[in-house]
Amino acid sequence: MYLSKQFPKNLSKFPSFSRLDPSNAGKTFRFSGTVKGRKLVAMGSTNPEVAHEFPFFRVYKDGRVEKFRWPPEITPPCDDPVTGVKSKDIIISTEPQIAARIFLPRIPHPGRKLPVLLYVHGGGFSFESAFSTQSDRYVRILAGEANVVAVSVEYRLAPKHPIPACYDDSWAALQWVGSHFSGNGPEPWLNDYADFRRLFLAGDSAGGNICHNLAVRVGSIGLPGVTVVGAVLSHPYFGGTDDDKMWFYMCPTANGRLDDPRLKPAAGDLARLGCDRVLIFVAEKDHLRGVGRAYFEELRESGWGGTVEIVEYEGEDHCFHMDDPTCQNAVALIKKIVSFIN
């Protein structure tokens, strides 16, 4: 079921979102449940026997999961008087539970339509949020600088919601955005201000991987009424690192297959990528630098008809631009994205 409405003040109506209430920022949570036979907890364990140790969570032998970076610090939507960017939270779907934060920049010319940016946050498929202080700050800057209507997707996180939930939720969000192309969708900001001939995808780290997979789906089955012009993949995750073990745990249906196309892009998928341009960012000290560069080379040699560009920042580490968007290289990265869109 798809809908669009302001996020309710009482988020407890939606269990997956209740921990993201801004009043809960900085608190530690324990929750329990089962995921494919696994017991899941947010923090803490009484059993010291560890079965798996991953970068973002720990799995105990009794199946319990301990997340290291949860909950994120949450920032409420607002009308920013400095940037002039407005934002609001909406619920896209109640089953499954998918939400988003939408950003609207200043509108100097009311009759002029703006490009659309669908942003997918990173976080190893298992943490972070579209409502976090970090994501809000970054997407707000992009919306203001690039003068785009930005939609930041709140997808379900692994391992509580095993992969492919994150891919399916992001695709559902993109379809929901596209459903406004005729001006009759449920969200007024998209109806009134979005130019669906100029839609862009952007994501960092795991979000970059998800954006690639979105572009593959667009190229395979289409997106009626919408032209996906380009995709921005910042420090994208693909298979070929120690992180693969964590991805396989979060995606039990992959059965450890290194050739899973979501993990290792297939040549055929690259050749039919559903956009005209791709911009890739890598960082010299990032452990994902190699897979980002490999993706660039494979896409360039795939027979795909678009153009791809890669930019590397020396001396920088993974997602440096998210940690401090005001540093010199982050400012340069944002300017490059603005140029790419406009």
Residue 31 lies in a domain: yes
Residue 191 lies in a domain: yes
Query: Does residue 258 sit in the same domain as residue 131?
Result: yes
Query: Does residue 203 sit in the same domain as residue 262?
Result: yes
Query: Does residue 162 sit in the same domain as residue 217?
Result: yes
Residue 3 lies in a domain: no
Residue 132 lies in a domain: yes
Mean of the pLDDT values across residues 96-115? Answer: 93
Residue 75 lies in a domain: no
Active site residue ranges: 205
Residue 51 lies in domain: 11-67
Query: Does residue 114 sit in the same domain as residue 53?
Result: no
Query: Does residue 62 sit in the same domain as residue 95?
Result: no
| pLDDT recorded at residue 48 | 79
At 329, which CATH number? 3.40.50.1820
Domain edge (last residue) among 67, 95, 110: 67
Query: Does residue 40 sit in the same domain as residue 96?
Result: no
Residue 139 lies in a domain: yes
For residue 109, what pLDDT band results from cuts at 50, 70 and 90? confident
| pLDDT recorded at residue 46 | 63
Query: Does residue 233 sit in the same domain as residue 154?
Result: yes
Query: Does residue 17 sit in the same domain as residue 158?
Result: no
Number of other residues whose CB lies within 10 A of the CB of residue 64 = 18
Q: Which token pair is 342? A: 């406009």
228, 275 in Cβ contact below 8 A?
yes
Residue 195 lies in a domain: yes
Query: Does residue 185 sit in the same domain as residue 213?
Result: yes
Taking 70 as the threshold, does the pLDDT of residue 14 lie above it? Answer: no
More confident residue, 269 or 68: 269
From the list 191, 187, 189, 131, the residue with the least C-alpha distance to 155 is: 131
Query: Does residue 130 sit in the same domain as residue 266?
Result: yes
| pLDDT recorded at residue 245 | 94
Number of domains the chain contains: 2
- pLDDT over 90 for what percent of the chain? 80
Number of other residues whose CB lies within 10 A of the CB of residue 181 = 21
Query: Does residue 236 sit in the same domain as residue 290?
Result: yes
Q: Which residues contact 70 (CB under 8 A, 6 or more apart)?
A: 19, 29, 42, 43, 127
154, 161 in Cβ contact below 8 A?
no
Q: What is the largest CA-CA distance in the chain?
A: 62
Summarised one tens digit per residue, pLDDT across range 22-66 is: 444 443 333 344 344 444 444 444 667 999 999 999 999 988 899
Residue type, 216: V
Taking 50 as the threshold, does the pLDDT of residue 181 lie above it? Answer: yes
Taking 50 as the threshold, does the pLDDT of residue 265 lie above it? Answer: yes
Domain edge (last residue) among 67, 97, 115: 67
Q: Model pTM greater than 0.95?
A: no
Query: Does residue 40 sit in the same domain as residue 91?
Result: no
Residue 1 lies in a domain: no
For residue 207, what pLDDT band results from cuts at 50, 70 and 90? very high
